[in-house]
Amino acid sequence: MKPYQKIPIEECGEPLVAIPLEHFAVELPHPYEKLGAVYGKRSPYYLRQGVVDALLKAQFFLNKRNPGWHLKIFDAYRPVGVQQFMVDYTFDLIVQKKGLQKEKILPQQKQDIWEEVYQLWAAPSLDLKMPPPHSTGSAVDLTLVNDKEETLDMGGAIDELSPRSIPNYYAASPLLKEQQFHRRRELLNQVMSYGEFQRHPKEWWHFSLGDQMWVWLNQQKDVDSQLIARYGRV
């Protein structure tokens, strides 16, 4: 159990709605669908209504600050089945990169690989008290696109299994290029904060609003916070 999963959920019943993609840049085809993930009747570009409203607010702030720039949505709603698919895919990917044969992996090797997988992915739990953040429709993975429609280099790829994924990884770097990566990550965080999102402490691209992690992160900043987790699994 991760610390944020102890936060109780008081589901508000808000609907899952389509993101108005005309206001954003978007990753098409969807990256996980390209890998073979099946979403069924619901699109990956869905979020709770309140989260969509907040995302539009963040996009407005970005465009006001940097005219012509857009938030680029990589991933949003993710059913538990897709979460399971990506967990299994990442496990197989690590096995392949290590040059191992899946059927010959030793128990300790398997344990080590699973620990590496779960550094990035939330467990695909069906427990309503511990839903994966993306399965609540309140989490979104995104990056920035400038006024030339160029996706900015943020110093690491989305879903990268690396220390470079930590938001402040480049904060103390003396290199000008890496300082630029940090400024871009900070800009993304400032824009999303305007919409009252909270950033994942280990993933520069992941932001949430209204879920367990969002409440827990707010509590780290204000121990007297009275916020509740209003979005459970959908």
Catalytic positions are 203
Q: Please, which residues bridge with residue 9 across strands? A: 229
SS3 breakdown of the chain: % helix, strand, coil, rounded to 5? 45, 10, 45
Q: CB burial class (10 A; 0-12, 13-18, 19+) of residue 59?
A: buried
CB neighbour list of residue 155: distance below 8 Å, 6 or more residues apart: 164, 169, 170, 178, 181, 182, 184, 185
Q: Is 8 helix (H, G, I), strand (E, B) or coil?
A: coil
Length of the chain, in residues: 234
Q: Which of 5, 57, 213 is nearest to 227 (CA)?
A: 213
Return d(Cα 79, Cα 135) in angstroms, integer: 5
Alpha-carbon gap, residue 37 to 128, rounded angstroms: 22
Question: Three-state SS string across 202-226, please?
Answer: CCCCEEECCCHHHHHHHHHHCCCCC
Q: What angle do CA 33, 5, 228 make, to 5 degrees?
A: 100
